[in-house]
Chains A and B, each alone.
Chain A
């Protein structure tokens, strides 16, 4: 039985097919989940992909947070299911309160589109299970609002609880403490600005995203086995 990865689609989302393609090449089934339908169709893992959900009006992710599917995403996360927010998906998850902090405009007001080096800081997350802390990987970024911010107490907690999952080796956007990705207190929700699905084949310039996506599928399989 293949793992079912539900990929949430809001009006304005534009990376959903890349995620489906990348996970299907690893043997999973990708299922597009329209935001207005709260049914997760038996997903074993969820991805909130990149794009411009609801046009990013007001603030990135601000309106998406109220889409009907988000109550189901929240319930899935509360049950411990793996949830990954990529780029705009990370912004949606912070607005929804599933991850702490916020993403604001890049320092220097510069849109960045580049392939950057990330350092993996912990393997205790659904996206990094099969990697080792200290590993450096090349993953594309493509964002205007990727500048992670949170208050001092939150940053302290993220560090103390080993919840910074990825850091930029060279900070491209002013992000606090070079943070590129974090996980929730329970560790099952991960948000990151870089796009692992765009680094899923050497032909794309890097296949370093494969280890991350494979980690997600392995986590989902382990969760299924644990659930009996």
Chain B
């Protein structure tokens, strides 16, 4: 399976661990990632709020570069913001012939052009879950993450609704209650916490603009995970990882709390479950050290008393949980898929 690969600026530096771990797990699953030639920054969230046309053109340049290789029609973006920008630009160019014309005029100045709809942009999680599939992943798991309580954190950008060009491909998971990462972590053998804040915003660039607001949001997320006795948070967006990790200390100081919740990437977890060396997956680079928590892997950890669900004889029975897949298929039914 061959794809265009758009790492994005963060994967070059701050989120190098994400890049390293992605490439590490690509091999065993036969994912061939062809980095887009001479790609440029996608503008993240800043540029698009300053100058729409210029930012679309900036993003479209990447799509144009990606389309140079006629065999590769799909582009993988591991970073949620890059993913969103690439998808949005493609969609708006498709829908507005006016925008399409203007952007292509700009691209022409550099000898490039892009026909909207040519590149199918996908998030790395989407490719792992749908193209590789849970079965193949389960087969390769040699060191299941048994005993590790993980809070899956999606961030707010990955499953924005209505990113599709046609009705056939809406966002690949439910916008309010996504479950693909939960399922993936379960397949890796971890105990997945039913984290209610999994799609809540981490504040994005608020950490640089207004740290007090950002701290409040980060506090809610980390406290929420800690309240559910999660050992660590696993995420899929470099911005989220950066905020939750690097700003955990300042947040602690601001609130006078002592949280120590490591934040890792899902690709690193896949690598660990496949038995790969932690250092090769970029673990150890994070500011809140994940190693003490990871010491639990392979060791049967007794589940903390408070988290145990002891059937209380006097308690009334709970209704049975609706299967996640039922929910997705019901949603799909409702939207006429």
Are A and B interaction partners? no
Interface residues of B (CB under 8 A from A): none
Binding site for B on A (CB under 8 A): none
